[in-house]
């Protein structure tokens, strides 16, 4: 069982917006602004999409945005495109001895 809770799957049609949630505790998501999101296509390495809750690395489309409220972080993808179909993982720094925790991943299907 993963430390952070994500929905197993979400779907949307091209052009639509979707939001993936990531729920933790006050020891991780709620306690720090060190939430990040990763995109992983099949048999590929993960790619950083959002860091420090809301920041996008250079080169990542502005269709991707992040937010946080309490112990839940969210990734929103607007204007869905076929290439967005992938697995998405949230991660958070934690005060526990395990410094970083991940969510179980969410499979995004673009219909």
Partner 1 sequence: EVQLVESGGDLVQPGGSLRLSCGASGFTFRNYSMNWVRQAPGKGLEWVSYISINSGTIYYADSVKGRFTISRDNAKNSLYLQMNSLRAEDTAVFYCARASGSSSRNAFDIWGQGTMVTVSS
Compute the distance between CA of residue 106 and CA of residue 31 in angstroms, rounded to an integer.
23
Is residue 38 a contact residue for partner 1 (CB under 8 A)? yes
Side-chain half-sphere exposure of 34, counting CA atoms within 13 A: 13
Is residue 27 a contact residue for partner 1 (CB under 8 A)? no
Binding piece for partner 1, criterion CB under 8 A, among 10-18, 21-29, 69-77, 95-103: 95-103
Q: By three-state DSSP, how is residue 83 classified? A: helix
> What Cα–Cα distance (Å) separates residue 59 from each residue in 41, 49, 74?
17, 9, 20
Is residue 39 a contact residue for partner 1 (CB under 8 A)? no
Is residue 2 a contact residue for partner 1 (CB under 8 A)? yes
Compute the distance between CA of residue 107 and CA of residue 94 in angstroms, rounded to an integer.
24
Is residue 88 a contact residue for partner 1 (CB under 8 A)? no
Binding residues for partner 1, per CB under 8 A?
A: 2, 32, 34, 36, 38, 45-48, 51-52, 57, 89, 91, 93, 97-105
């Amino acid at each position: 069982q993963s430390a952070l809770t994500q929905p197993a799957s979400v779907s949307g049609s091209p052009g639509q917006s979707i939001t993936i949630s990531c729920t933790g505790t006050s020891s991780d998501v709620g306690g720090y602004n060190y939430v990040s999101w990763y995109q992983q296509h099949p048999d590929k390495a993960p790619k950083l999409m959002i860091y420090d809750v809301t920041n996008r690395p250079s080169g990542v489309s502005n269709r991707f945005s992040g937010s946080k409220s309490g112990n839940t972080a969210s990734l929103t993808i607007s204007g869905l495109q076929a290439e967005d179909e992938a697995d998405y993982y949230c991660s958070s720094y934690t005060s526990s001895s395990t410094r970083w925790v991940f969510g179980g991943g969410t499979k995004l299907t673009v219909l």
